Structure 1
């Protein structure tokens, strides 16, 4: 009986391994469940698979509530190739992204209050096009401003399991990601929770496609 159960677990892990290798983006447990069938403890299987790949050239990593195979951090240099020069994010975009990561959910006005300068619509659009931030909801305050938060793609790009892995303020300022003029009241958040806060309402479908709404928030 034990051997039969172990054989089933091994088969399930092989299936998850194959699906994750074939996927071009991280997958969550609910997306993986249909491949192994109802009743399978996908979370436990993923953790066991993660342990199996620990110390190898490829690791199974967690990004928010999703999983993906990634090259081991200490071997990344082996896969670097000469690439055409890409335009780096502007200081405004870096500061805006950092503020959203540490203050989320944040409105455009709140971002501007922390930065001390106006935030152009293009900056938020650039970060949304990169897939690093998204509109979360509308704040229950006059004007109903849109709130912004980071995404799982943000975690994946920067190699974070959750927002609790974000560097401290001194590290951010030392690396130039935050200006020294920013207040010291920024706090490292708890792991990202996609649920709306008590002071937020969900976005209506029209909100997601309205450029005017972005510019006015």
Structure 2
């Protein structure tokens, strides 16, 4: 192999993103196909910055996504915006059929009510330390409880707190967003609005009289520890 051919082989293939040789309708369909193919092939939500690499400079990515979603309206799977990107997911209505066909059984222990409430507190008030969580609930939040949330990959260590001793704080993860069907933390119900409406308060949290309310696929066990 000549040096020139070797260099050509090592060069990445340049993708024609503008597709100016195609009429507008075919160009749009090609962009739609590319976007859906990349999302379909990915095991994690695909961020916007990855998708803009495969479409034209003047392509409206949000409209592309809308058109793909419209075409999938009657299908058993859909395109969802989650964890800062887009992902194909089967619709919840088909969960039982999938489990029956594959024999899959969810062996993970569901979160207890205490774990749900601590997770909810971290989601709303992050970054927050274990000591601050303990002060909030008026009883110790154990390392074991934190460990359970870590094992589900719902939380991770955040920056160190500026308080004495510089303890680690806790923050939620992309897995948390993905599990509960959230695109960003801005999709959490507004805490102050819920308080003003009388739907949520610290007292309700402490009493355990509040559902998780994060609008997603994860089911939790609301029984007492």
Band of TM-score, shorter chain: 0.5 to 0.7
Picking from 141, 163, 166, the partner of 1:144 is: 166
Picking from 207, 213, 224, the partner of 1:180 is: 207
- For 1:7 and 1:140, the matched residues in 2 are separated by 56
* TM-score with structure 2 setting the length: 0.64
- For 2:120 and 2:144, the matched residues in 1 are separated by 16
Picking from 64, 81, 86, the partner of 1:45 is: 64
- For 2:56 and 2:165, the matched residues in 1 are separated by 47
Q: Secondary structure at the match of 2:171?
A: strand
1:12 shift after superposition: 1.6
Note if contact 2:83-2:175 (Cα within 8 Å) is conserved in structure 1: no
Determine which structure has more spread, i.e. the larger CA radius of gyration.
2
Asked if 1:76 corresponds to 2:98, the answer is no
1:2 shift after superposition: 11
- For 1:121 and 1:36, the matched residues in 2 are separated by 47
1:67 shift after superposition: 0.9
Q: How large is the RMSD of aligned CA atoms in angstroms?
A: 3.6
1:155 shift after superposition: 2.1
Q: 1:51 to 1:152 in 2, by over 3 A?
A: farther
Asked if 1:121 corresponds to 2:109, the answer is no
**Corresponding residue number in structure 2 for 1:157:** 179
Q: Secondary structure at the match of 2:94?
A: helix
1:27 shift after superposition: 1.4
1:108 shift after superposition: 1.4
Note if contact 1:95-1:115 (Cα within 8 Å) is conserved in structure 2: no
Q: Secondary structure at the match of 1:27?
A: coil
Q: 1:41 to 1:72 in 2, by over 3 A?
A: same
Picking from 24, 30, 33, the partner of 2:52 is: 33
Q: Secondary structure at the match of 2:64?
A: helix
Structure 2 portions without partners, runs of 5+: 1-19, 215-225
Note if contact 2:117-2:208 (Cα within 8 Å) is conserved in structure 1: no
| Aligned residues between the structures | 182
Q: 1:64 to 1:10 in 2, by over 3 A?
A: same
1:132 shift after superposition: 1.3
Q: Secondary structure at the match of 1:62?
A: strand
- For 1:132 and 1:106, the matched residues in 2 are separated by 14
Q: Deviations over 1:157-179 (max 9, x none)?
A: 12334443559689899xxx955
Q: 1:135 to 1:42 in 2, by over 3 A?
A: farther
* TM-score with structure 1 setting the length: 0.66
